[in-house]
Amino acid sequence: MSDARIREMNFWADRYRNGGISRREFLGRASALAAVSAAGLGFNPATLLASEPKQGGYARFGMSDASQQDTLDPGTWPTSFAEAAFNGSLCNNLTEIAADGSIVGDLAESFEPADGAKKWIFKIRNGITFHDGKSLTIKDIQEAFHYHMGDKSTSGAKSLLSQVESIDADGPNTIIFNLKSGTADFPYLVADFHLSIMPAKEEGGIDWQRGVGTGSFILENFEPGSSVKMKRNPNYHKNNKPYFDEVEFIAIMDQTARLNAFLTGEVDFSGDIDVRNMALIDRNPELEILRIPSLRHFTFDMDTTAKPFDNLDVRLAMKYALDRDDILRKVFLNEAKKGNDTPVASAMPFFKDPTPQFDYNIEKAKEHLAKAGLKTLDVDLSVSEAAFPGATESAVLYKEHAAKAGININIIREADDGYWENVWLKKPFNGCDWYGRATCDWLFSTAYAADASWNNTHWNNPRFNELLVAARSETDNDKRAAQYGEMQQLLHDDGGVITVAFVNWVYGLNKKIAHGPVSGIFPCDNLRMTERWWMA
């Protein structure tokens, strides 16, 4: 068989494994390819599927970031526990991010722009039903988006949808988003994990309280801060998926307890493996470590509207007073990359490393304190292991670094449970774990625009906000690169974010669970591990 036909055969095998075609269709295409190739005599297409996904089994996922305040409300999901269970298993979006990072249809079978990308037209798949048997309608989709829009919305996706002017139906299977300006990245934005589609209420709004979606798994039981149990959806719209019969998300906040649960087989998956425990896992032939390249980054965020961080020189002093290299060595054992106070990862389109690098410089820190009229400075820094793995140890090292510049950091060790509800977005200086986003527009609109719901630094830079709108509709890639480059420099120079490190997702996985390519734009295989993985 020629190389070209082998590549085509592998393409259809991958489509089958990912649920794009049925087994019957794959075998038909593979047999046809073999039949037209002399070298294909005696070829059995089923051999390509020796490691094919199979149905059955009960998978248990040990998660690191649950909270007793978690709810089924899609506007509130802040961590991977709720997002992987509810967005990635219970529900679907119009689009999803594939394993290769591309954007593909989910509930939408196709999407296309019109009017210079000021209008986006989505064709919805036929025959999709919610878990209660109700058919998906355009009204469900409209209300799902309206839920996150408007002045009274408190959703994490509110700022993403501020560019939407109206949402119109065009028949029973077409929905049209009319935007205020052209937005080339809009199909990515609607993959945001908040924008899950749930049933509409007759009077308007969405019925999120019942926990009914269109997703690969049906909710059986939800105990906030403890567990989510789910069973397979037999009517799922993707061929062959999901593969597990049942899944359970188990909250184990303590790192040692989570590791022990993984080592003893109480869970099959462990989130956020401590790099210092990797050797222990490597010695066990039944376990493996997944190191997934990601856009994830850990930060210390300063509220630029609160004293003393409303003074730019204080912010600069804080940046120069952190020895990031020391933290990379001692906390992350060099399994991370140094940050430079931009949230844009080097793997992202339009990345531009701003200058200068904020290396540890006591004299620079003192110089900026003096410009702020200060010889010494006292600040409180709120952290917990819920903030990001290694946050507490990183804060202790930061305290030592900054003391040499006359900066006294008082470390407030917050409770793990409730950290994202009680500390993040509320305390003026806190640790934060950011996933990153697939595009600059998505990233900036979520966390750094003036009206962003998740603007933890409360930063408001008019030039940045102006560029954000302009870059959305810019069709010249060189000009767009220059706009996003300037925005990264503005964040670096003026913003309140201190980017400590960029890291991989590091998971522990029992080898009785198999998987295809694992993506790391979002955690947990872009939150879709329950529908993409299977029992080996």
Mean pLDDT, the chain cut into blocks of 10 residues (536 residues total): 51 58 59 46 44 91 95 96 98 95 96 96 98 98 96 92 96 97 95 98 96 98 97 95 98 95 98 92 95 96 98 98 98 95 95 96 98 98 96 98 98 95 97 95 96 96 97 92 98 98 97 95 96 97
Residue 151's pLDDT is what? 87
d(CA 394, CA 377): 19
Q: Rounded to the nearest 10 degrees, how much is the dihedral formed by the CA atoms of 496, 149, 108, 454?
A: 20
Give the per-residue pLDDT at 47: 42
Please state, in angstroms and rounded to a whole number, the distance separating the CA atoms of residues 237 and 226. 29
Architecture of domain 294-503: Roll (3.10)
What type of residue is 166? S
Cβ atoms of 535 and 72 within 8 Å: the answer is: no
What CATH code is assigned to 217-293+505-535? 3.40.190.10
Contact of 463 with 490, CB cutoff 8 Å? yes
CA angle 74, 145, 182 (to 5 degrees): 125
* Residues 6 or more apart in contact with residue 290 via CB below 8 angstroms: 505, 506, 507, 508, 509, 518
Lookup: tokens for 196: 């899950």
Q: Which two tokens stand for residue 160?
A: 């993403």
Please return the burial class of 373, using the count of CB atoms within 10 Å of its CB with bins 0-12, 13-18 and 19+: exposed
Residue 475 has a pLDDT of 86
Q: How many residues does the chain have?
A: 536
Max Cα distance, the chain (Å): 83
**301, HSE (Cβ side, Cα atoms, 13 Å):** 28
The architecture (CATH level 2) of 91-190 comes to Alpha-Beta Complex (3.90)
Long-range pairs for 220-224: beta carbons < 8 A, 24 or more residues apart: 222/72, 224/66, 224/67, 224/68, 224/69, 224/70, 224/71
pLDDT at position 52, please? 83
pLDDT of residue 100: 87
d(CA 258, CA 250): 10
Write down the pTM of the prediction: 0.86
* pLDDT computed for residue 23 by the predictor: 57
